[in-house]
Amino acid sequence: MAEIKKSWYKEMSVYQIWPRSFYDGNGDGIGDIKGVMEKLDYIKSLGVDAIWFSPLYKSPQHDYGYDIADYKSINPEYGTLEEFKELLDAAHAKGLKVIMDLVINHTSDEHQWFIESKKSKDNPYHDYYFWRKGKKPNGKKPPNNWLSTFTGPGWEYDENLDEWYLHLFCKEQPDLNMDNPKVREEIKDIIRFWLDMGVDGFREDVITFISKKEGLPNGFPIPAACGMEHYKCGPNLDKYLGEFREVTDQYDCMTVGEAPMMTPKLALRFIKEGAGQKLNMMFNFQHMEADCFMIGWIHTPFNLRKLKRVYNNWQTKLYGIAWNANYIENHDQPRIISRYGNEKYRVESGKMLATMYICQSGTPFIYQGQEIGMTSIRLPEIDMYKDVQAKDTYKLFRKLGFSHKFTMKTAMYASRDNARTPVQWTGGKNAGFTTADEPWFYINQNYTEVNVEAAEKDENSILNYYRKLLKFRKENEICIYGDFKLHYKNSRKLFVYERNYEGKRMLVINSFVEQPVCFSAPAGFDLSKGKLVLSNYEVADNTLNSFMTKPYETRVYLFE
C-alpha cells in the first residue's frame, strides 16, 4: 500500500466565507470584514483550521467579486486593507489560516489594465487581453463561435477599436491573455503581495481555463460552453502553473484549484505529489452532478449510484499519490439538504451528508451556513434573482422555448442565489445578519427555526454535530490518512465505506432515504467489537450486525 505523506494542509478543515452574506458589522445591509472579525470566535469554535475568503477585492460586483478591479485592495463595501491585515493577524492569533481567492482567468472590465487596453491597439496593455478582429466580410461577427459559460457569445464588440474581446464569463469579465509574459509577471507579483502579507494560500478560480489554444479555433458547435475543448487544460497550462508554483514554493502555503469538467486521471497531471506537482488539490465538480446533467440547470432525479461511482473513483485513484478537496456546498451550489438530503428530515439528512463527505479522505471545506443546515431559498420570480448566471440562463431557456413556469421551477432548484442568502444568526430581525432596515438580499424565511443562536442551545443540532465530527477527524488519523473501500456498491439507498490506517478500521454507514433499509455489516466486520463514535440517532443496541436504518441515518464505527 502507498505510503501517505503527511502535511498540514491535509489535516486541516476549511470554512468558506462568501463575504457579502456572512455578517454585517457596520449596519449597511452588506456583510463585511468587521463582521467576520466579530464572528472569529464562532468560526474557531467549529473546529476548523482555516478560512477561505471568496473575493474581498475591489470589484463592481457584476459577478459578486469574481470580477476584480484591483487585486491589491479591498472592496470598500467590505472594509479596507488595514482592516484586512488586522483580521489576518487576529485569525492567525487564534490559529486560523487564511486562504484568498485568486481569480486570474479574467479581471473586471473596470480593472485599470482593461481600461488601458481598450484605449488603442498600440497601448502597452492591449495585449493583456484577447482582442481580435471580427469575422469577415465586415467584422461584425465574433472572431469565433465560443460561448460564455454564462450563456451567449464569448465575445464583446468594441466600436472604438473595431475589435472584439474574449470573455468566458460575463461581458464585464474580460479574459486575461496569459500567453503574454507580462501578464504572468503581474500575477506572480499579486501572489507575492498576499503571501508576503502573511496569507496561507489560494483557492484558484477556474484555473484550468487560463491557457487558450493558439489561434482560438472554432469549438465543436454545442449550445453551452462551446469552445471549451480549446481552453480547458489548454496547451500551456502546465507551464504557467509551474511558473506560479515556483513563487508559492518559496512560502509555506497551499493551493487548491477550481477545475470544472475534471476527472481523477486528468487531475493527477496537476496534483500528483512529487517534482512535477502544480497544485496541492483540485475542486472537481463530478460529485455535484448526481442530480443534474453537467450543469445544475439540467435537473435529473438524484442518483446515489452515480454519486458513489464518482466518489469511489476519486478516493481510490488519488489515494497515496495525491489529495482530495472535499466539499458539498459553496457559493455556486444550491444548498445540499435541498438537493441530496430532505428538508423534511433537515437535521437528520444534514448530519448524514456531513458525515458522508467529511469522513472521506481529503481536506473538508464547509460553506457558511452549511454547518447550521441552511436550505435553498427558491425565489419564485426572476426579478428577485441577483446572480448574473441565473438571469442569463433564464433568458436562454426562454429563448430555447421552455415555458416561464418550467424555467422558474428550474431556477428555484438550481440557481446559485440559493447559496447566497445571508447567514441566519438569530431568530430576530433580519435573522441577526444586519441592523440595517433591509439586508442586501432576501433572507430565507425559515430563519426563525434555522439559526446559529438556536443551534447553539440545542445539543443535538447540526451545528454541534459538525463540531463533533471535525473534532473526531482531528483526533483520529484514520479519518485523515486512511484508505477508502466502498461497500454496497449497487445499493440505491445506502452509501457504506470503510477506511483503514495502521491496523485500525472505520466503517461509515449512510442512508440516503426515508424508508427503513436492511443493513448488514460487510464481511469481516463485527459491530459488537467496534465503538460507535458518531451517529444522528440514539442507538439502543449498537452491537447488532444487522439493523433497519432510520430515515437518513448515519453511523460511524471505529475498530481499534
Active-site residue set:
205, 258
| Residue 364 to residues 50, 143, 220, 300, 490, Cα–Cα distance (Å) | 11, 42, 36, 26, 26
Residues of the chain by 3-state class (helix, strand, coil), percent to 5? 35, 20, 50
The nearest distance, CB 291 to ligand NOJ, in angstroms, is 19
Q: Does 412 bind ligand NOJ (CB under 6 A)?
A: no
First-to-last CA distance in the chain? 19
Cα–Cα distance for residue pair 298/303, rounded to 1 Å: 14
Cβ-based nearer residue to ligand NOJ, 327 or 525: 327
Least distance (Å) from ligand NOJ to the CB of residue 144?
20
Kindly state the smallest distance separating residue 67's Cβ from ligand NOJ, in Å. 7
Q: Of 48 and 103, which CB lies nearer to ligand NOJ in the complex structure?
A: 103
Cα–Cα distance, 24 to 432 (Å, whole number):
9
The grid coordinates listed for 488 are: 454496497
Residues 151-170 that bind ligand NOJ (CB under 6 A): 169
CB of 518 to ligand NOJ, least distance (A): 41
Can you read off the three cell numbers belonging to residue 216? 482560438
- Name residue, grid cell 497515496: 320
Q: How far is the CB of 151 from ligand NOJ (least distance, A)?
A: 13
Q: How far is the CB of 55 from ligand NOJ (least distance, A)?
A: 9
Nearer to ligand NOJ by Cβ, of 260 and 522: the residue is 260
- Contacting residue, 23, 66, 497, 552, with ligand NOJ by CB under 6 A: 66
> Helices 388-399 and 404-414: crossing angle, nearest 10°?
150
Does 63 bind ligand NOJ (CB under 6 A)? Our answer is yes
All three cell numbers of 383, joined, read 426579478
Contact (CB, 8 A) for 519 and 547: yes
Q: Cell numbers at residue 176, please? A: 486575461
**Is there binding between residue 332 and ligand NOJ (CB under 6 A)?**
yes
Q: Is 206 in the site for ligand NOJ (CB under 6 A)?
A: yes
Q: Do the Cβ atoms of 57 and 111 come closer than 8 Å?
A: no
Residue of closest CB approach to ligand NOJ: 66
Asked if 103 interacts with ligand NOJ (CB under 6 A), we say yes
Nearer to ligand NOJ, 65 or 373 (CB): 65
Pick between residue 186 and residue 477 the one whose CB is nearest to ligand NOJ.
Answer: 186
Is residue 15 close enough to count as binding ligand NOJ by CB under 6 A?
no
Full 3-state SS string of 69-84 = CEEEEECCCCCCHHHH
In the region spanning residues 253 to 272, those forming contacts with ligand NOJ, defined by CB under 6 A, are 258
User: Which among 405, 278, 348, 262 is positioned nearest to 551, based on CA atoms?
Assistant: 348
Applying CB under 6 A, the residues found at the interface with ligand NOJ are: 63, 66, 103, 169, 205-206, 258, 331-332
